[in-house]
Amino acid sequence: MKILIGLEIHVQLTALASKLFCSTDSNYRERNPNICVCPVCLGLPGSLPVVNRKAIEYAIAVAKALNCEISDKVIFVRKHYFYPDLPKNYQISQYDGPGFTPIARNGYIKIFVDGKSKNIRIRRINVEEDPGKIYYIGGIEEAQYSLIDYNRSGIALLEIVTEPDMSSPKEARIFLDKLIAILEYLGVVDTSLEGSFRVDANISIEGYGRVEVKNIGSIKDVEKALTYEIIRQKRIVEQGGVVSRETRHWDERKGVTVPLRAKEFEEDYRYFPDPDLPPIKISSDMINKVVSALPELPDQRIERIIKQYNLDEYRATILVLNKWLADFFEEGAKIYSNYKKLADMLITDFLRWVKEFSIDPKRLSVKPHTIVKLLELLDKGVLSIKMVKELMPKVVKGDLDIDEYIKLKGYTKIDDESYIENIVLEVFKENPKAVEDALKDPKAINFLIGAVMKKTEGKADPKKTRDIIVNMLRNIKDLNR
Amino acid sequence: MSEDIITYLEKLVLVKFNEDEKERVRVEINRIVDLFNLLKNMKELDIYEPLFHVHEISSPLRDDEVLDKLDEEYKMLKENAVLVQGYVKAPKTMVE
Amino acid sequence: MSYRYISMPVYRLVEEFSSDVNKVFEYIDAIYDRIERVENKVRAFITIIPREYIYNNVEALLKKVKSSGSAVPKLFGVMIGVKDNITTMGIRTTCGSKILENYIPPYDATVIVKLKNAGVFIHGKTNMDEFAMGSTTETSAFYPTRNPWDLNRSPGGSSGGSGAALAAGEASIALGSDTGGSIRNPAAYTMIYGLKPTYGLVSRFGLIAYASSMDQIGPMARNTTDLALLLSVISGNDSKDSTSLPIESIDYVKALDDYMYKEPRLRIGILKELFEGSDDCVKKTVYSSVDKLCSYHDCIEISMPYTKEAVAAYYIIAMAEASSNLARFDGIRYGLKTYIDGRNWVDVYTEVRTKGFGYEVKKRIALGAYVLSMGYRDMYYIRALRFRRMLREKLDDIFNNVDAVASPTMPILPPRLGEFFEDPLKIYLADISTVIANLSGYPAISIPAGFCNNLPTGLQLMSKPLSESILLYLSAQLEDRTKLRDIIAEV
């Protein structure tokens, strides 16, 4: 059974200072209700919208990053429905249909799934305004009325709609990770802010009706919700039933999708171009200005990191998709040249603990030079790999001063066996005559021990060194028999 | 135009016509639609693109700046809406 | 004595006040005394600002000017009646509707800000058809306004209150709004001057919208110079209105003076179909006024078919946009309230809107939704917009050959109150001359043409975008010949 998944994503342009159609403060989170409002975003009679230039520039930037065709003009339409969070009882949005063009169309994002690359097509990108927020005292069932906060009303949103090109929840998750990375690189949205990134999904089994799933709260939930819904649909089909077109709601607590019991809005939104907003011409000058200011985007950075640091695509991708980690890496790479080792440490232990402790990368106290120091100590054999793994959690939390630690533990002795083994092998290679001598006369072993001590600046544990050399000589003797 | 359409329109725009008005509005709407239908028969219109905005101007674009930073509850809402702890009181929306 | 203030042109008031600022108070008394005498018969106002309030504001402004040493504002002391769909901060703004009966806006419309900066004081909000939907001011939810020239007749609409206030001497100047003729219609029916500016010349920010692509605020006055003066104050680009033209304010009085000095000979097109479609008396009276212009200018007869279709296109577009603009009225953030607890939003909204909107408004909202709904939008709304483009092209052709187009403003005399109740289509078709300017966005003026059976008639002149000066020029010329200026009806 072929699975078809399409996503509809709403992104708040949190980097804007003001709202989409008015100069009201867009920084509404954690403020008292109904403070960031004005006649325009409250839809007071007589108020009129005026478009925020930066919102259009950000939309163009996103469109470019998603390889879309950009419209030569932006037309806003009115989408009519009655709802308490919508002050004008219409939303100013865009529409894709004959005569009305969204700001961008026909793009794609390249993702890697199981080692193969795949393009997920972007159908369109719209610019539109956010409605206010609805609250209930108690629960939605018990409350006798609703409470509205219009602070969010009028905030600039980008609606990004994909074609149903994803064929598994995993692909959807990979797509979203890439999209979020692109948006973060562009700097148009801080996805850690609540409500800044919302996903609705469309899932169908080829040949059957399309089910829309709304209210998926977080990116983690996307995979869960999609997995559940696919199983649900598969079961119906396997039992000979038919999946019909409907809208369902993801219940996070119960982990299921449920049909929307509510009266559906009248589907007839009576779209027409907003007479208060003549079309905005998008000149090639405007596009060029945006393009020339574009930062390095994920795909470009992956390519560059592969070339510049001789890393493979897999490692480069993980670094780049976590922008802060790539930044961290490149900082460290300035003072440490074993790029592969650095990347490995960051991608495995380091990243693991940052995620484990849910540390906000923006608030990380540990700096790249600390990780580099760890690596250098590892190289010198002062610390073993085992020790580094044990210390990492403390390092990530910023609780460890490495120099102090080393002093405290008196790590002037090197007793990491694998480390010493490597040195011994080097010494054997460099001194073939001494090895011959030692094979004949056990007392000649002291020369070899001395050579190892020289190489480790006297730090190697003498007893361990002697044992290792003895073992190796014995192996050679056995081989020679 | 039938009564059904009137009822459909009532639902679309959330107004109701009372018993007295219903017949009157049905008759009047029918006559007005007859007037509207004058355009249906004008074949010459087919070659014209719709004119949405009378002047060829582009919407002006505004700088992204905050004017009038507000620090207190919007006074107008206090005077014109019903507020509960600063929130605007509104009817329930259906349980989803 | 102070009766002279009742009919005094604004440009004269300004001269009087500049010589002696205390005359302002005499003037205020004169107007308010007049209101006290005639308002109960005319009913031009919905809200009248208490006299003391104006006194206090005048004194406060005088004090401020004295202490800051700045110049006295251009129109200091003049009072204006403002149509009640124009937002005035702190002053109730109802749009003639129950749904906004107690709405007090928290901001001023841009035109109000400009008037205040010019030193003008608002002394009342004038009556209107509910949400500007009507041509007789009879759909006002409060009461109909009466025509000062015949109290059994309508003063026209939807800016009927402003027209009647001027004709009755209850205001020196007034603001109206025009979407399908709502300034020119009452101007013609009350024997005053009214101008619908080029779309976008006057800011719509703060005008409570009826049909956004056609609405314009415009000046109404008892003579051409006052019209020019008021237009100069209120016009000009506004960054708060995205449909506002990128034009700085023009001094129309100066432009008018220039024209009157140079007296260019213009070409005037006489719109055949609109004269032919008018009542005999109206036709005769308006023709004779046109003749007064044609003795100097070159007049040719022109033809424009599709005038009836223009009415159809106008109402399709207007109702569609109105149904959208009036969607916001649900009583939640402002306006008529009802009991909420335990009820869902569909029921609450329906109750508020059914109680708060009058019959005509409900009808237009319903029809507006109809022409925008799936399956009908192309047939009606889009089609009407195609007509609009065709009309514009035809007008552009016409204006290649003429500078102004003339027709009777209204094809009939001021209707009796209640006359159109039985046949609403008839009243829509009376807009046949006025809607053309709204559909196209072109400016048009109504000039007093003369009395017909003791009732007012008006001549409409229409011109190309941003040709208000031409219209004012022709108006001033006709005014000189008819002497129909600064006249007050005996109420």
Give how many domains chain C has, as a whole number: 2
Decide if C301 is inside a domain. no
Beta carbons within 10 angstroms of residue C359's beta carbon: 16
Q: CB distance from C247 to chain B under 8 Å?
A: no
A35 and B71 within 8 Å at the Cβ level: the answer is yes
Instruction: Specify the pLDDT at position A233.
Output: 93
> C91, C240, C352, C359: best mutation site toward chain B, by most B Cβ within 10 Å?
C359
DSSP code at position C241: -
Residues C329, C439 share a domain: no
Residues C448, C377 share a domain: no
- The rounded distance, in Å, linking the Cα atoms of C283 and A344 is 93
- State the distance between the two ends of chain A, measured CA to CA, in whole angstroms: 63
Identity at C284, one-letter amino acid code: K
Residues C223, C88 share a domain: yes
Instruction: Specify the pLDDT at position A438.
Output: 87
How high is the ipTM of this complex?
Answer: 0.96
Q: CB distance from A95 to chain C under 8 Å?
A: no
Residues C127, C85 share a domain: yes
Chain A contacts of B73, Cβ < 8 Å? 32-35
Which residue on chain C is closest to B20 by alpha carbon?
C359
Instruction: Specify the pLDDT at position B71.
Output: 62
- The rounded distance, in Å, linking the Cα atoms of A63 and A125 is 7
Residues C412, C377 share a domain: no
pLDDT tens, residue by residue, A12-38: 999 999 999 999 999 999 899 999 999
User: Mean pLDDT over all residues of chain A?
Assistant: 90
Using CB atoms within 10 A of its CB, is residue C400 exposed (0-12), middle (13-18) or buried (19+)?
exposed
Residues C377, C248 share a domain: no
Instruction: Specify the pLDDT at position A192.
Output: 87
- What CATH number belongs to A417-480? 1.10.10
C182 is catalytic: yes
Decide if C391 is inside a domain. no
Residues C70, C29 share a domain: yes
Q: CB distance from A148 to chain C under 8 Å?
A: yes
Q: How far is B49 from chain A (nearest CA, A)?
A: 10
pLDDT tens, residue by residue, A314-372: 899 999 998 999 999 999 999 999 999 999 999 998 999 998 888 888 888 889 999 99
Q: What percent of chain A has pLDDT over 70?
A: 96
Decide if C281 is inside a domain. no
* CATH code of the domain containing C126: 3.90.1300.10
Decide if C487 is inside a domain. no
pLDDT tens, residue by residue, A192-247: 898 999 999 999 998 888 999 988 878 888 999 999 999 999 999 999 888 888 88
DSSP code at position C150: B
pTM of the model: 0.90
Domain ranges for chain A, please list them. Answer: 3-291, 296-409, 417-480
User: Stretch A411-426: mean pLDDT, rounded?
Assistant: 76
Chain C contacts of A148, Cβ < 8 Å? 332
Residues 105-134 of chain C whose Cβ lies under 8 A from any Cβ of chain A = 105-107, 109
Q: Is the pLDDT of residue A118 over 90?
A: yes
> B14, B66, B68, B80: best mutation site toward chain A, by most A Cβ within 10 Å?
B66
C19 is catalytic: no
Q: Is the pLDDT of residue A384 over 90?
A: no
Q: Which of C158, C211, C217 is nearest to C322 (CA)?
A: C211
Residues C139, C44 share a domain: yes
Which stretches of chain C score pLDDT less than 50?
Answer: none
A48 and C369 within 8 Å at the Cβ level: the answer is no
Instruction: Specify the pLDDT at position B4.
Output: 87
Residues C345, C473 share a domain: no
Residues C327, C226 share a domain: no
Instruction: Specify the pLDDT at position B96.
Output: 42
Q: Is the pLDDT of residue A263 over 70?
A: no
Instruction: Specify the pLDDT at position C111.
Output: 98
Of C162, C182, C244, C433, which one is the catalytic site residue?
Answer: C182
Pick from B53, B63, B87: CB nearest A148: B87
Chain A contacts of C209, Cβ < 8 Å? 45-46
Residue A478 banded pLDDT, cuts 50, 70, 90: confident
Beta carbons within 10 angstroms of residue A434's beta carbon: 18
C158 is catalytic: yes
Q: What percent of chain B has pLDDT over 70?
A: 91
User: Stretch B52-80: mean pLDDT, rounded?
Assistant: 87
B35 and C333 within 8 Å at the Cβ level: the answer is no
Residues C133, C50 share a domain: yes
CA angle, C119 then C125 then C130, to 5° = 145
Decide if C467 is inside a domain. yes
Q: Domain residues for C69?
A: 4-268+406-482
Residue A418 banded pLDDT, cuts 50, 70, 90: confident
Q: Is the pLDDT of residue B13 over 80?
A: yes
Of C135, C158, C244, C323, which one is the catalytic site residue?
Answer: C158
Q: Is the pLDDT of residue A412 over 60?
A: no
Q: CB distance from A124 to chain C under 8 Å?
A: no
Which residue on chain B is closest to C331 by alpha carbon?
B81
Which sign does the torsion angle of CA C451, C454, C456, C458 carry?
A: negative
Instruction: Specify the pLDDT at position A422.
Output: 86
Chain A contacts of C386, Cβ < 8 Å? none
pLDDT tens, residue by residue, C197-237: 999 999 999 999 999 999 999 999 999 999 999 999 999 99
Q: CB distance from C441 to chain B under 8 Å?
A: yes
Instruction: Specify the pLDDT at position A112.
Output: 87
With beta carbons less than 8 A apart as the criterion, state whether A164 and A202 touch.
yes
Which residue on chain B is closest to C100 by alpha carbon?
B80
Instruction: Specify the pLDDT at position B72.
Output: 66
A134 and B93 within 8 Å at the Cβ level: the answer is yes
Residues C449, C320 share a domain: no
H or E stretch at C347: helix C345-356
User: Stretch B2-11: mean pLDDT, rounded?
Assistant: 89
> C352: Cβ–Cβ under 8 A, 6 or more apart, which residues?
C99, C329, C330, C331, C335, C336, C337, C338
